[in-house]
Structure 1
Amino acid sequence: MKVYALLISFFALAACSGSDDEPIVPTVPTPERTYYRGMDLSFQSELESYDPVYRDAAGATVNLLDFVESAGTNLVRLKLWHTSEDGQNTLAQVLAYAQKIKQHNMAFMLDIHYSDTWADPSHQTPPAAWQGLTQEQLQTEVFDYTKSVLTAFKNQGTAPAFVQIGNETDSGFLWDYGRVWDAFDDNWPNYAALVSKAIDAVREVNGNDTKVILHHSKVENAVYFFTELQPFALDFDVIGLSYYPQFQTKNLITVQTKLNELAATFDKEIMIVEVAYPFTFEWDDNLTNYIGSADQIIGAYPATPQGQRDFMGRIDNIVKSIPNDKGIGWVYWAPDWVAFDGNETTTTGGSSWENQALWDFDHKALPAMGVFTP
């Protein structure tokens, strides 16, 4: 009987160890990654008052947002100035345009310059309202301002998917409080403290629903910048970069290598938040353009409609191929900044960008628009 009982126990255990009786562990699906092909439309609030006409490739008049959404654009970037010197890019204007973006089912990126005008590596001027503050007072202002801005967007149902803490902050921002260039190269703790306060405000309002971007102006120099920030363990999500061949390396293999190095070194998502390329060296108004000669571009991609399209296709492939899905997209800067009636008045000064727009001089959509199609 004992042997019989033991046999029964053995077979029972064997049966329980069979694959049919093993607990089934449910597979949790990996969320599908969104890859962004975006446009910076920060000029639209101003351009709309002049009612420029935009056309599709066949010449039919289109509504700009309807058209870019249908072309595949899934992200719109807008810059915000604190107390605008020229009445543009104000909080009220950006709030209003964010509502239009939401109505078109596109994500929204907010680029806070923390200045009353353009901020870039050579210009990081604090708002006039913040002049003369102590470092501690400025940190409080940065937190309160960021919180009030994010709250305003949240309250109207347009919380941004991404927010930039400063624009092209290679040199730091809010000079000289957070300056890190030249004689201020030991000032990284102050820069990091200011950025940290802004991030704290984003997290308080939107938690992790809004991804935080830190923005550097040059792909090839960004490793140094983010290495300097590592000791401060800043709570940001995305390395944002500008890439303009006019000002940077023209070797796209170097661009690819540096993007891969950034992703591997810092374990952050990567996005090129500013990129553009000319389709001609000609101009359509009386204002000098930023690009006008062959030495400013990449020889393999001439300043033609097809050259512009091929360049953007290559950029798209480079970002998509960053290992481990760290490359999450790119944003074309000012594709809508065409020449238009009234653009040579003292009000606007014209467009210095119409030969890098995504509409030609007849305002017909260019072939590069096809790169936005998934």
Structure 2
Amino acid sequence: MKPPFLTRTFRRALFVGVALCLNLLGCFSATAQTFAKGGDTSWLQQMEANGYKFYNEQGVEQDCFQILKSKGINSIRLRVWVNPSMVDWVNGHCSPAEVVQMATRAKNLGFRLMIDFHYSDSWADPGQQTKPAAWASHSFQQLQQDVYDHTFSVMTALKNNGVTPEWVQVGNEIPNGMLWPEGNATNFAQLTQLINQGYEAVKAVSPASKVVVHLDKGHDNARFRSFFDRLTANGGKYDVIGLSYYPYWLNQDYSVSISGLQQNLTDLASRYGKPVIVAEVGADCTNQPQNAYDMLVAVQNAVAAVPNGQGLGVFYWEPQGYRSFSGYQLSAWGNDGKPSPALNAFLVTPTAPPPTAPITNLLANPSFEANGATTQNPTAWSTWANNTANQAADKTETGGQHGTYRLTHWLGTPYQASTFQLLNGLPNGTYTLRAWVLNGGGQKACHLYAHNLNGVEKTVALPVTEAWAQIQITGIQVSKGQCEIGLWSDANAGNWCSLDNVEFFQTSAPALSSTGPAAAVTSRLYPNPVTDVLTLTLPTGVGAATVRIYSATGQPVLTRTLTSSPAGQRLNVSGLAAGLYQVRLEGGGRLETHKFIKQ
């Protein structure tokens, strides 16, 4: 008798060979070229078995799948449990046999399929990853065999029914691992081995199926980088990164975290070279149908915006599981059996936003990287506090949103503090201020602000959020050439917030009078790129200007006072390291920024 792993290896090779031959013969038809608009409908079979009916918007009874298809859904996701309870409506069923039956039905109706292996007898998520009862006493080596055999068995049963899933999840929401305690993320080497066994089993039966590794809190870039950096370092095998996104469970509107989701999707696709898919999304479609609709459109657009077609699609979790059956708050179905109008969002064609014009950020050291270490006085920023001791509330520290450092307000006693920049010589016009923030909450006040020194201040409160969120203030009017921007905290002992990657830029200028003087020309700098000497020419009427040059990280590297000359002023930059630099010129009541490349 062959040892289990040897038997498995032989069986794997046999199925890979057969599958590849079938593929070469054209027996497999891929549909991966279109955007996936999906629904996880794992409750549907037991709902139907217990008499639940589904009606279209006109009140006509229809097959639930047909209604979903009429709403633009083209893909179905189904969870599979190992040995579930078959009498518990909500927390049971989803057995391998039931999943095969439902997958076959969905496939015959033209849906694409995602299969979600929980490797449990019931729910698996970040707070619970309970081993199936039949595996409870198994050694780690046997658990690897269990994962392989269970995955192989279900995939084979699907294949025997003519079903080829386009995507297969190995584990459900596993930032903390799966099959605890052996597969806990505290032992990432073992977790990786379990994931790889699932991967190998999927590929042995269906080489074309894409294996998905799936985490929750899809807006939290640090969470995903931490996990997938470790998975990569341990030799983890996967094809697609899956994300869950539920603003409702974050106790915040989607507008707070949608930019974080967008950035995370793009970063993951770039950093790991893998496509991304929102495997679960949900919203309060009963109490806030319009907000839910808007959120679903925004999420689809965020996925569609991932460069190079690496955003695959979006799946709504249990849209049909209406509350009289499930008690689930985020169902997208009414107790009258009709779909929520929020599902009409899947009828919208996802569109990536048009490329935005590059901005000129007028702030120095906007990402707090200039000092290169924790500091109480970050370069280019000023601090105010209600007393000298509370100056200590303001400092930079590691844990930046995208770089190494961030600004943090924190003190063990109550404090009032602001960290700010005062900008002078601004052209009159309209500006936007935006920044990435974290906030532990509890303050009397905590906001980003812009004060134009003409008696008008605009603010936006920092949301309470454990993951970086981008906030902004638009429509800031500058009429006297000055604006102060900053972060303000009126906090209790132990309250904290963080700020990073701050941007302040002009969005429009006042209209020019047709009878007024011609618009002033800007300064010129050349050659660009430059090797040794950079020449700057000031506009007519500007007798002198202060020139400051900053590195790409915001570190000041050169300051000079220049006078106007037809031939221009020459700056020796031969001592600068090769790279991108920003030039700020202040003088004559104006402020300009330019960039140049040092070769």
TM-score (norm. length: structure 1):
0.78
Residue 500 of structure 2 corresponds to which residue in structure 1?
none
The Cα of 1:67 is off from its aligned counterpart by 1.8
Q: In structure 2, the residue corresponding to 1:246 is in which secondary structure?
A: helix
Q: Which runs of 4+ in 1 moved over 3 A?
A: 247-250
Higher strand share: 2
* 1:138 matches 2:143: yes
Residue 94 of structure 1 corresponds to which residue in structure 2?
99
Q: In structure 2, the residue corresponding to 1:336 is in which secondary structure?
A: coil
User: How high is the sequence identity, in percent, across the aligned residues?
Assistant: 34
Residue 322 of structure 1 corresponds to which residue in structure 2?
306
Alignment of 1:15-30 (within 5 A): none
CA contact (8 A) 2:115 2:169 kept: yes
- Given candidates 108, 125, 130, the residue that maps to 1:103 is 108
Residue 270 of structure 2 corresponds to which residue in structure 1?
264
The Cα of 1:193 is off from its aligned counterpart by 0.7
* 1:360 matches 2:334: yes
Structure ranking higher on relative contact order (CA contacts 8 Å, 6+ apart): 1
Change in Cα spacing, 1:32 to 1:334, as seen in structure 2 (3 Å) is closer
The CA distance in 2 between the partners of 1:362 and 1:32, in whole Å, is: 35
Counterpart amino acid of 1:251? Answer: S
Counterpart amino acid of 2:336? Answer: D
Residue 61 of structure 2 corresponds to which residue in structure 1?
61
The Cα of 1:362 is off from its aligned counterpart by 2.5
Alignment of 1:258-297 (within 5 A): 258-281=264-287
* Residues 130-164 of structure 1: CA deviation (Å, up to 9, x unaligned): 12222112111211221111111111111211110
* 1:128 matches 2:130: no
Change in Cα spacing, 1:120 to 1:32, as seen in structure 2 (3 Å) is closer
* Residues 215-239 of structure 1: CA deviation (Å, up to 9, x unaligned): 1012102121111111133231110
Change in Cα spacing, 1:98 to 1:32, as seen in structure 2 (3 Å) is closer
Q: In structure 1, the residue corresponding to 2:97 is in which secondary structure?
A: helix
* 1:215 matches 2:214: yes
CA contact (8 A) 1:54 1:359 kept: no
Change in Cα spacing, 1:141 to 1:108, as seen in structure 2 (3 Å) is same
The Cα of 1:32 is off from its aligned counterpart by 7.5
Q: In structure 2, the residue corresponding to 1:55 is in which secondary structure?
A: coil
The CA distance in 2 between the partners of 1:61 and 1:128, in whole Å, is: 40
Q: In structure 2, the residue corresponding to 1:175 is in which secondary structure?
A: coil
- Given candidates 171, 175, 178, the residue that maps to 1:173 is 178
The CA distance in 2 between the partners of 1:32 and 1:179, in whole Å, is: 33
Q: In structure 2, the residue corresponding to 1:251 is in which secondary structure?
A: helix
CA contact (8 A) 2:323 2:334 kept: no
The CA distance in 1 between the partners of 2:335 and 2:82, in whole Å, is: 33
Counterpart amino acid of 2:314? Answer: W
Higher helix share: 1
The CA distance in 2 between the partners of 1:179 and 1:70, in whole Å, is: 41
Counterpart amino acid of 2:312? Answer: I
RMSD, matched Cα: 1.7
The Cα of 1:351 is off from its aligned counterpart by 2.3
The CA distance in 1 between the partners of 2:243 and 2:189, in whole Å, is: 22
The CA distance in 2 between the partners of 1:366 and 1:175, in whole Å, is: 38
Q: In structure 2, the residue corresponding to 1:356 is in which secondary structure?
A: coil
- Given candidates 248, 254, 257, the residue that maps to 1:251 is 257
CA contact (8 A) 1:146 1:201 kept: yes
Residue 202 of structure 1 corresponds to which residue in structure 2?
202
Residue 235 of structure 1 corresponds to which residue in structure 2?
237
Counterpart amino acid of 2:242? Answer: G
Counterpart amino acid of 1:363? Answer: G
CA contact (8 A) 2:80 2:118 kept: yes
Larger mean Cα displacement after TM superposition, 67-76 or 148-157 = 67-76
* 1:370 matches 2:344: yes
Alignment of 1:79-90 (within 5 A): 79-85=79-85, 86=88, 87-90=92-95
The CA distance in 1 between the partners of 2:319 and 2:70, in whole Å, is: 15
Residue 357 of structure 2 corresponds to which residue in structure 1?
none
Q: In structure 2, the residue corresponding to 1:79 is in which secondary structure?
A: strand
CA contact (8 A) 1:165 1:212 kept: yes
The CA distance in 1 between the partners of 2:331 and 2:128, in whole Å, is: 25
The CA distance in 1 between the partners of 2:327 and 2:108, in whole Å, is: 30
CA contact (8 A) 1:115 1:126 kept: yes
- Given candidates 164, 167, 189, the residue that maps to 2:169 is 164
The CA distance in 1 between the partners of 2:143 and 2:286, in whole Å, is: 45
TM-score (norm. length: structure 2):
0.49
Larger Rg: 2
The Cα of 1:316 is off from its aligned counterpart by 0.9
* Residues 56-92 of structure 1: CA deviation (Å, up to 9, x unaligned): 2232222211221233211100111100034511111
Q: In structure 2, the residue corresponding to 1:280 is in which secondary structure?
A: coil
CA contact (8 A) 1:69 1:104 kept: no
The CA distance in 1 between the partners of 2:212 and 2:339, in whole Å, is: 30
* Residues 321-351 of structure 1: CA deviation (Å, up to 9, x unaligned): 11121111010001001144xxxxxxxxx42
Change in Cα spacing, 1:306 to 1:58, as seen in structure 2 (3 Å) is farther
Counterpart amino acid of 2:237? Answer: D
Q: In structure 1, the residue corresponding to 2:121 is in which secondary structure?
A: coil
The CA distance in 1 between the partners of 2:189 and 2:314, in whole Å, is: 30
CA contact (8 A) 2:297 2:346 kept: no
The Cα of 1:121 is off from its aligned counterpart by 0.8
Q: In structure 1, the residue corresponding to 2:116 is in which secondary structure?
A: strand
CA contact (8 A) 2:32 2:166 kept: no
Q: In structure 2, the residue corresponding to 1:372 is in which secondary structure?
A: helix
CA contact (8 A) 1:338 1:351 kept: yes
CA contact (8 A) 2:275 2:311 kept: yes
